[in-house]
Structure 1
Amino acid sequence: MKQADLSILILYYSRQGSTRKIAELLAQGVESVSGCEARLRTVPPVSTVAEATAPAIPADGAPYVEPSDLEECAGLALGSPTRFGNMAAPLKYFLDGTSAQWLSGALAGKPACVFTSTGSLHGGQEATLLSMMVPLLHHGMLLLGLPYTQPALMTTSTGGTPYGASHWSGPNGDRPLSDDSRALSVALGKRLAEAAVRLRGQ
């Protein structure tokens, strides 16, 4: 594989746009690394109504993820808003259907990181990040966080943890990302891409 072929999958679910904004910042960090490209993907919503269906193509934003996106990626960033300290159901639903990739080891040995947004300051950011790590560990992925060599980790009051990038979006999801949260999101994307390059021996 040529250096320019390293694709980093940024897979997320977002309802009000905050998690999507973090995903886009991670993509900036990924694409700041020579030879890496960000592949933004999302998952469709789920419904308790059995007849409910989502369009095959989202009205806006990233396309829906396909199993081939997992198989082809050199690294994975996984993002979700918090749901009572856990990832949102649509993302969990998708991950629950990745048995074939688990059996084949499609993600084993690849680097991964996680990111989240939450409506309240103590709404479970870190618990959500940790919950998203569990299926990635089962897939054999190599988890990355944010080291304290990132100065914004010591100054942030709006999000950002050693477990991954995060953002306090407010109850209506309309709080803008702070400079610290933006810097940490870009830094996490860059770190993920750099790890993927090193692991590929390029």
Structure 2
Amino acid sequence: MTKVLVLYYSRSGNTRKLAQQLARGIESQGVEAVLRTVPELPSYTDGKTPAHSASDPFVTRQDLLDCDGLALGSPVRFGNMAAPLKHFIDSTSAEWLSGALIDKPAAVFGAGSMLHGGQETTLLTMTVPLLHHGMILVGVPHSESALHTTQGGGSPYGASSVSDAQTPLLADEKKIANALGRRLASLARTLNPTSS
């Protein structure tokens, strides 16, 4: 069966909410969504317990090798991905050297707590290592009607949300994340027909 790895880091739970929406879109296409997260970095939390504890398993190297597509998600950190996710991505040199991710489709998603807080630059900077891995980037086309009505997150670069930990995702943010998941799954199945 075709598998899409939904790999994210979530401190408050907002990025995880988006990951779940992408997973729903992926699975609506008959593709398996494999949700994984990364561990905290001790220096990142200053020894404090994180506000959110993810219930999804930590990613393994085998998850990367087994996936037919990848969705990468992070909270916004000064317009960039969060350190725990970057730490994991920086450790994927062996997969880069072996070409394990070449020609697999990839998408990005992210969550921030305020408008104009760096959501789009976070999405764009997450694409850079994916390009180095030879992945094929998947965005949200303007044919997705929610892009025209959203009062929160979402852009052609990927799914995003603008909310605090207690606020649910907006309806348009959910629609955009679902649409991105559907598109990623469809391309994963098309580009890797032997996995279907």
Normalising by the smaller structure, the TM-score range is over 0.9
Asked if structure 2 preserves the Cα contact closer than 8 Å seen for 1:19 and 1:80, the reply is yes
2:27 alignment partner, one of 31, 44, 50: 31
2:188 alignment partner, one of 167, 175, 196: 196
Structure 1 residue matching 2:16: 3-state secondary structure: helix
- 2:57 corresponds to: 63
Q: Distance in 2 between matches of 1:167 and 1:78?
A: 14
Q: Distance in 1 between matches of 2:79 and 2:54?
A: 27
2:39 alignment partner, one of 36, 41, 44: 44
1:8 alignment partner, one of 4, 8, 11: 4
**Deviation digits for residues 139-170 of structure 1 (CA, Å, limit 9, x no counterpart):** 00000000010000001011000000000013
Identity of aligned residues (%): 56
Spell out structure 1 runs of 4+ moving beyond 3 A.
Answer: none
* 2:190 partner amino acid: R
**Deviation digits for residues 75-105 of structure 1 (CA, Å, limit 9, x no counterpart):** 0000000000000000000000000000000
**Deviation digits for residues 5-53 of structure 1 (CA, Å, limit 9, x no counterpart):** 111100000011000000001000000012x10000000011228xx7x
- 2:114 corresponds to: 120
Deviation at 1:59, TM superposition (A): 6.1
Asked if structure 2 preserves the Cα contact closer than 8 Å seen for 1:168 and 1:175, the reply is no
- 2:171 corresponds to: 179
Q: Distance in 1 between matches of 2:189 and 2:2?
A: 8
Q: Distance in 1 between matches of 2:187 and 2:79?
A: 28
Q: Distance in 2 between matches of 1:166 and 1:60?
A: 19
TM-score (norm 2): 0.93
Q: Does 1:157 align with 2:151?
A: yes
- 1:129 corresponds to: 123
Asked if structure 1 preserves the Cα contact closer than 8 Å seen for 2:10 and 2:54, the reply is no
Q: Does 1:72 align with 2:72?
A: no
* Structure 1 gap ranges (5+): none
Does the C-alpha gap of structure 1 residues 102 and 124 become closer, same or farther in structure 2, counting only changes over 3 Å? same
Q: Distance in 2 between matches of 1:119 and 1:174?
A: 11
Does the C-alpha gap of structure 1 residues 122 and 110 become closer, same or farther in structure 2, counting only changes over 3 Å? same
- How is 1:140-155 mapped onto 2 (pairs within 5 angstroms)? 140-155=134-149
- 1:106 corresponds to: 100
Asked if structure 1 preserves the Cα contact closer than 8 Å seen for 2:37 and 2:54, the reply is no
Q: Does 1:18 align with 2:14?
A: yes
Q: Distance in 1 between matches of 2:53 and 2:113?
A: 24
Does the C-alpha gap of structure 1 residues 59 and 157 become closer, same or farther in structure 2, counting only changes over 3 Å? closer
* Structure 2 gap ranges (5+): none
**Deviation digits for residues 46-82 of structure 1 (CA, Å, limit 9, x no counterpart):** 1228xx7x9xxx9651100001100110000000000
Q: Distance in 2 between matches of 1:109 and 1:151?
A: 28
- 1:81 corresponds to: 75
Asked if structure 1 preserves the Cα contact closer than 8 Å seen for 2:11 and 2:53, the reply is no
